Structure 1
Amino acid sequence: MKTTLICALPFILGAATAHAEETLAIYNWGDYINPEVLTKFTQETGIRVTLDTYSANEEMLAKVQQGGTGYDIVFPSVWMEDIMLKLGLLERTDIDKAADFANIDPQFQRAKGDPEGHYCLPYAWGTVGIFYNEDVTGPITGWEDFFAIPGRTGKKITLLDDMREVLGMGLIMTGAPVNATDPGQIQAAAQYVISHKKDVTAFTYESMPLLVSGDIAAAHYFVGGNMYAVDHPNIKYIIPEEGATMYQEDICVLKDAPNKAAARKFMEFYLTPEIAALNVAQQFNGTPNRPANELTPDFIKSNPNINVQGDTMARLQIFEDLGPALKAYDRAWNAIRTAQ
């Protein structure tokens, strides 16, 4: 769902209508919304939608802080939403007052700065685990198996080009929480990753095309990568037995959004269970919309690595705003990237 090569190249959806002059400018992760959702929104409201994409929370924040972007809606991860709230970058929408807000499972109102949903709407959630070519690797169960693949098969593996996700994996494997602020724990996580760096061919968001083409044997990637593997039964996805991270993004309206009314209409539109389910059917992730879960395709509902339950959910951790400790993560990430 996130790719560094997808950048600010907008595309426009929807036919001209009597209200075609009204537009909604969306800034979202690459490949993180079903185009049908945007088409249906235009058909229903007459509001023309433009979409630009980013590959990292930090990239989105930097652009928003520059100002004058013209964007109405962004999709920050929960921890980034908390940062943006502190910086005064988000508009209060009172979306929690909408009648259909009752569809949202309260456990997904995770933002510490917006626990009641006055600002943002829970959008989607999922896991970050391992995709692998079972024809090459055989069955694997976790991170230890993942890092053993190059030595055992001579084939390449990739890690995400994502500071929090890579260090989160290192923290899990060294017995620390993914939101650790202790410098020693952060350093130990970085050393774990560095100790395996020789087996990693790249830090990238372009893993799934490489895996499907056979250029790599396994990849650290988001569950949404299943959209690339539909026609490739040899490509499997697992949530590592040692533990993994989960993510959640929310729909937020920017304080300087040019069209806040259209943004609010989109949030209300996305509360419709059929629309949230339509997105899940293409994105292969979870939705906070409870009625929508019953409308998702059977192949998603029956997949325990997508529709996560019970003990597996207990192995997942979600990122939080690190505050001043973020500097230690930046240093650790730089050490990983520059290590020989």
Structure 2
Amino acid sequence: MNKLCSKLVSRKIKKSIAMAGLAATSVAFSSMSYADETLNLYNWGEYINPEVLTKFTEETGIKVTLDTYSSNEEMLAKLQAGAKGYDIVFPSVHMQDIMAKLSLLEKTDISQSPKFKNIDASFLTAESDPKGEYCLPYAWGNVGILYNKNKVSELSSWEDFFALPDQGQNIAMLDDMREVIGVGLMMDGKSVNSVEKDELKSAQEFLISKKDKVSAFTYDSIPMVQSGDIAAAQWYVGAMLYVFDNPETLAYVIPEEGATMYQENMCVLKGAPNKANAKRFMEFFMTPEIAALNTKQQTNGSMNTEAIKLLPSYLRDNPNINPPKEMKAKLQMFKELGRGIKLYDRVWTKIRTS
């Protein structure tokens, strides 16, 4: 409730009990106004610069709330379980395609915005949204290896990574079915979207043979790498934030065999209670200065061509954040697998229970 409405309501209550009905009406109106001035985001943990949200509120008066999730599957499960009130989610491209099939996303026509000219059209990668009629490309990056240089003098490949336990060092992988199985497929030179049973079986056998050498499957490995309890961990390029803060101890590498490339998009839910505010936030985020502000804090890639020009050279020219063509060609993005996902479920269950 805004202060003006609160004062008006209070004045009416004090003036006369007979005006209670009018006061109640004023309270209801002010509550509606408050609802119109909110925006509810559901995003990956720490995947947006808080300063971006502060600036949006300062500019628009719209209060932003933020809940977080640790995986696409967690987000989707919560929505399918009946979670209400969220306006914007940030699915990976393959999850956007799944959500589109489930009719969970609102058509925004965001590509019709004049600011959309700032967006690199090559990132319109969702099969369900090739024209950007629903979602806004948000951020992209890769999933490589973060390591502690006090424990590992140099590391350049997945082969090096899996050799560390034999050298007395601990390693960790993400608690993520597609990411882990993807490594097994890449080690065999296969697509991370393979639905060939023989290829998946080979990846399964490889990962099971390495499982007893993996100290943890977790999203919380960064503190362990920082302390040296874990020598190296599979993690997102956003780890460069910690590398820049402590370059003497930490390093990040895209493995020679290749890595996965992720892309998250900003999507409005069909059941969003604040659709107009959600669209306004998408417009706000396309402002080059705002997109650059987010990228500086996240240390990942931006699809906003004008924002990239505003980045400091240590980000813009960093080969881990913006890899050269020959390395980028080795990055693979997940696709929606349809019924093939059941094969991955079985492989993942077998890996985790063996």
1:77-99 per-position Cα deviation (integer Å, ceiling 9, x unaligned): 00000010011000000001100
1:56-76 per-position Cα deviation (integer Å, ceiling 9, x unaligned): 101101111123421000000
1:242 maps to 257
Within-5 A mapping of 1:218-297: 218-233=232-247, 234-297=249-312
Q: How many residue pairs are counted as aligned between the two chains?
A: 324
1:138 maps to 153
1:230-250 per-position Cα deviation (integer Å, ceiling 9, x unaligned): 322121100000111000000
2:179 maps to 165
Q: Secondary structure at the match of 1:251?
A: strand
Distance 2:206 2:197 in 1: 14
1:90 matched to 2:105? The reply is yes
The verdict on how the C-alpha distance between 1:114 and 1:254 changes in structure 2, with shifts beyond 3 A counting, is: same
Q: Secondary structure at the match of 1:220?
A: strand
Q: Give the one of 103, 111, 117 matched to 2:126.
A: 111
2:12 maps to none
Name the amino acid aligned to 1:225: A
Distance 1:311 1:277 in 2: 25
Contact 2:148 2:251 in 1 (8 A): yes
Give ranges in structure 2 of 5+ residues lacking alignment: 6-32
Contact 1:193 1:336 in 2 (8 A): yes
Runs of 4+ in 1 over 2 A off after TM superposition: 15-21, 228-231
Q: Give the one of 204, 221, 225 matched to 1:211.
A: 225
Distance 1:26 1:64 in 2: 13
Most deviating of 254-263 and 61-70: 61-70
Rg larger in 1 or in 2?
2
Contact 2:150 2:228 in 1 (8 A): no
Alignment root-mean-square deviation, CA: 1.5
Within-5 A mapping of 1:37-48: 37-48=52-63
Within-5 A mapping of 1:308-323: 308-323=323-338
Which is richer in helix?
2
Q: Give the one of 190, 212, 218 matched to 2:204.
A: 190
1:146-198 per-position Cα deviation (integer Å, ceiling 9, x unaligned): 0111212x121000000000001100001210000111111111111111111
Q: Secondary structure at the match of 2:264?
A: strand
Q: Secondary structure at the match of 2:311?
A: coil
Contact 1:212 1:232 in 2 (8 A): no
Distance 1:121 1:38 in 2: 17
Q: Give the one of 11, 24, 30 matched to 2:45.
A: 30
Q: Give the one of 125, 146, 151 matched to 2:166.
A: 151
Q: In the TM superposition, what is the alpha-carbon distance from 1:16 to its structure 2 partner?
A: 8.6
Distance 2:63 2:90 in 1: 19
1:123 maps to 138
Distance 1:103 1:78 in 2: 20
Name the amino acid aligned to 1:29: W
The verdict on how the C-alpha distance between 1:253 and 1:145 changes in structure 2, with shifts beyond 3 A counting, is: same
Give ranges in structure 1 of 5+ residues lacking alignment: 1-14
Distance 1:265 1:228 in 2: 32
1:77 maps to 92
Q: Secondary structure at the match of 1:88?
A: coil
TM-score, structure 1 as length reference = 0.93
TM-score, structure 2 as length reference = 0.89
